[in-house]
Structure 1
Amino acid sequence: MKKTLTALAVSCTLLPLTFSAQAATLIHAGKAFTGTSNELRNKVTIVIEDNKIESVKSGFVSAEKGDTVIDLKDSTVMPGLMDMHVHLSSQQGGPKSYLERFTLNEADYALRAANYAKITLDAGFTTVRNLGDSHNETIALRTAIDKGYAVGPRIYTVGKSIATTGGHADPSNGMSHLLRPDVGPEQGVVNGEAQAREAVRTRYQDGANLIKITATGGVLSVAKSGQNPQFMTDELEAIVDTAKDYEMTVAVHAHGKEGMKRAITAGVDSIEHGTYMDDEIHELMKANGTYYVPTILAGKFVAEKAKIDGFFPELVRPKAAAIGPLIQQTFATAHKAGVKIAFGTDSGVSAHGDNAQEFALMVEAGMTPADALTSATVNAADLLGVSDILGTLEPSKLADIVAVKGNPFDDITIMENVSFVMKDGVVYKQ
């Protein structure tokens, strides 16, 4: 028996080993924004094997037997879009939105998030940062999408945001003291350095990808100030230092200057909204490599709704009217100053699926279409720390690819009508 096996082994080494060639998917793109330059390439073939880009070739390459060809010769193809500020489990709908915490259960939030996730993916956004939910529902949704039993974008989520007592993300705001729950680090309310560290570790335990704090007042919370600083320096440093230990980045909701200044100095990764930033803040952000996520669309939305009697509570309405209109100009000056910008909308304030309306607002404020697309691809991937797998159309990157009919450099508003969506090598819209 031993001789027979030896002879068989020898004979096998003399025979050529042949494997059937794996079928590829070829995308024939009339134009391509690859993210590797600010120029569009004409007539490009993107070769995809499994869930990754194998190559990006000039011209329309012929298919081999078994290959699949996707004809996008009338379209501009680009990396999957990335929105760095969404809230998938909510959508602002006027007065009823403020009653939902009394009427909805955890399952209601989760199922609604799944619906909005599908809408977001259909709009061409294959990756999002979810910056705050109510019951860790987007952590569960992220897992469901990753395992294939829900459909939506790739989610990086903070779970529950972190605030101080009475701060922008304190879930007990606006309640009678007879109803007000006892909230602490688990619910995202901290006071002092020890509780700040505990809140970060709790989110790590819950499975959050990153941390979000509300360093100043906010527009839509039932609290008086929309811009006062709400964390002390020692609390901010405790959050950032602890987050770094767990390899988590820190995103910061901030409108007022002092809150931004404290947060940037503490070493956070991004400032969201940033309404009252000035030249001093610009220089501080550039010196620290801090990203700015503008959310112009949310500002426009709340400014318009503030004109409607009864849409917002009376405590919220003047904040929306004052802060909302300023964000586009804040973006314009930050961009001109050279601050790093990553695309973000705060969708959930405005309607999910309308995310791409942000592009036109960015271009209207002075950004080129190429830079606007870069903010939602290359820059967003950099902010997330995933530039090795996402953000450009290059070999070995994940096959997250979207397309629009026409040329977005000529008309950026066509980004609002994405006609093709591929995520992780799977076509979800064509």
Structure 2
Amino acid sequence: MNRIVFRGGTLFDAVSRCADSADVAVEDGRIVEVGTGLQGDEEVDCTGRGVLPGLIDCHVHLTMTSPDLFESVQEPFSLQFYEGARNMARTLAAGVTTVRDAAGADLGMRVAQERGLIAGPRMRISLNMLSQTGGHGDPWWPSTCVVDLLPPHPGRPPVVVDGPEEIRRKIRELVRAGADVIKVATSGGVVSGGAGPRIPHFRDDEIAMMVTEASAAGLHVMAHAHGEGAKAAVRNGVRSIEHGHFLDDETLEMMAARGTWLVPTLSAGVGLRHAIEAGTGYPDHVVEKIKQRTDGSVRRAVEAGVPIAMGTDAPLYPHGENLLELELLVDQGLSPADALHAATLSAANLMGLGDTLGSLTPGKRADLVLVEGDPLDVAGLGKRILAVYQDGRRVHEADHAR
């Protein structure tokens, strides 16, 4: 059995949230030892380099590429899967070795990655996002035309539902189609044609049914949610709040007490503002919602002790530039080490993968990212990626590292 030693790097220990010099020994795709002076059959010289656990993005949309929804809906149906393969490769090259796809990717994409047909991060998939009639995921627009970014197909069921019994059946369909997590919109959104983020969607009995049915299948619920919609989601037991603007003190207190995660997707706001500046043709009411997006909820969540996990909402900010999110988290009050924790062990724990991913710990899968310089310096970290390893196998090497 071949033993590879990554020697002399500065390791980020996600458990202690510190960095220090150490070697990592890998056998058969697993970390077997961490220490100094380790011996192996092969060596990777990490002198002067940081060594991070494989990073995790808890909120991406791999089948989407453009933030311009009107451009996207005019593309051929199957193009999304070819673009998805490219987006997976770009994400992996950014040091992100695991993702949670928050609507779009189907079971075939996940299986293709697992079988080595496509280079990319390992995936947890939601398939699509439950929406009430007139909600954030309802493709109907006032013109009566349909603008559906996620048109249904056999691997991605339609998801506009109303009432607990419709929800029960739909979740069972999603589980049958291969969902690893259930995604719901419990409030309006920014770029949809309907209500804005302050308007709650679904009632308590409906959200409770989602959590009950997901739990019966061993799954969690993630909620696109703002304001009162987020409060209802937390009250009824969702696992994570995605985006999370307009969160009041009561909601934050409940989240901290219950251990409900916040996935802030700060990069999305930057990407949407860039899209407006570039002249993307959003309607005026969508532009107005984008301008109202930032409200300080993330900083207050950090102060309240709400657990944070990294998610980007790519492609609202481009796939492959995921690590901007680390800098934005620091801007909102996290230390660099805490931001890295949000992208490693916290993210793994949110996704139920903490036993196998998220830290450079013996027994875990050997996902490692080699970076130039200090791993605790998150500024511009995405431009300092040198090599990415997944299960101990090098899956990306930067041109400047060769």
Q: Classify the TM-score, shorter chain.
A: over 0.9
Structure 2 match to 1:210: 181
What residue number does 1:354 align with?
A: 321
**Where in structure 2 are the equivalents of 1:248-267 lying within 5 Å?**
248-255=219-226, 257-267=227-237
Contact 1:130 1:138 in 2 (8 A): no
Match among 1, 6, 14 for residue 35 of structure 1: 14
Unaligned runs of 5+ in 1: 1-21
Task: Tell me the SS of whatever aligns to 2:284.
Answer: coil
Query: What's the CA shift for 1:175?
Result: 6.6
What aligned pairs does 1:93-242 form with structure 2 within 5 A after superposition?
93-94=67-68, 97-105=69-77, 107-133=78-104, 137-170=105-138, 172-174=139-141, 176-177=143-144, 186-242=157-213
Q: CA deviation at 1:180?
A: 8.4
**Which of these residues, 24, 36, 41, is aligned with residue 3 of structure 2?**
24
The verdict on how the C-alpha distance between 1:371 and 1:98 changes in structure 2, with shifts beyond 3 A counting, is same
CA distance in 2 between counterparts of 1:180 and 1:279 reads: 36
Query: Which residue of structure 1 aligns with residue 367 of structure 2?
Result: 400
Higher relative contact order (CA 8 A, sep 6+): 2
Equivalent residues of 1:86, 1:345 under 8 A apart: yes
Q: 1:322 to 1:180 in 2, by over 3 A?
A: closer
- Pick the structure with more helix per residue: 1
Distance in 2 (CA, whole Å) between partners of 1:316 and 1:217 is: 12
Partners in 2 of 1:317 and 1:114 — Cα distance?
A: 30
Which position in structure 1 is the counterpart of 2:332? 365
Matched, 1:50 2:28: yes
**Aligned pair 1:87/2:66, yes or no?**
no
Instruction: Give TM-score scaled by structure 2 length.
Output: 0.93
Q: Deviations over 1:269-303 (max 9, x none)?
A: 00011110121111110122100001111112223
CA distance in 2, matches of 1:349, 1:285: 26
What one-letter code is carried by the residue in structure 2 that aligns with 1:71?
Answer: D
Task: State how far apart, in whole Å, the 2-side matches of 1:276 and 1:101 are.
Answer: 30
Deviation at 1:30, TM superposition (A): 2.2
CA RMSD between the two structures:
2.0
**Identity level (%):** 34
Change (3 A) 1:225 1:366: closer
Query: Does the CA contact (< 8 Å) of 1:84 and 1:345 recur in 2?
Result: yes
Q: Measured at CA, do residues 373 and 411 of structure 1 come closer, stay the same or move farther in structure 2, by a change above 3 Å?
A: closer
Aligned-residue offset at 1:103: 3.5
* CA pair 179-51 structure 1, distance change in 2 beyond 3 A: closer
Per the alignment, in what secondary structure is the counterpart of residue 48 of structure 2?
Answer: strand
**Hey, which bits of structure 1, 4+ residues long, moved more than 4 A?**
178-183, 307-310
Q: Equivalents in 2 of 1:159, 1:310: separation in Å?
A: 27
Count of residues in Structure 1 that have an aligned counterpart in Structure 2:
393
CA separation in 1, counterparts of 2:43 and 2:222? Answer: 40
Per the alignment, in what secondary structure is the counterpart of residue 380 of structure 2?
Answer: helix
Q: Rate the CA distance shift 1:203–1:179 in 2: closer, same or farther, 3 A.
A: closer
Within 2, Cα distance between the matches of 1:56 and 1:217? 47
Distance 1:398 1:358 in 2: 24
Distance 1:237 1:273, change over 3 A: same
Partner of 2:254: 284
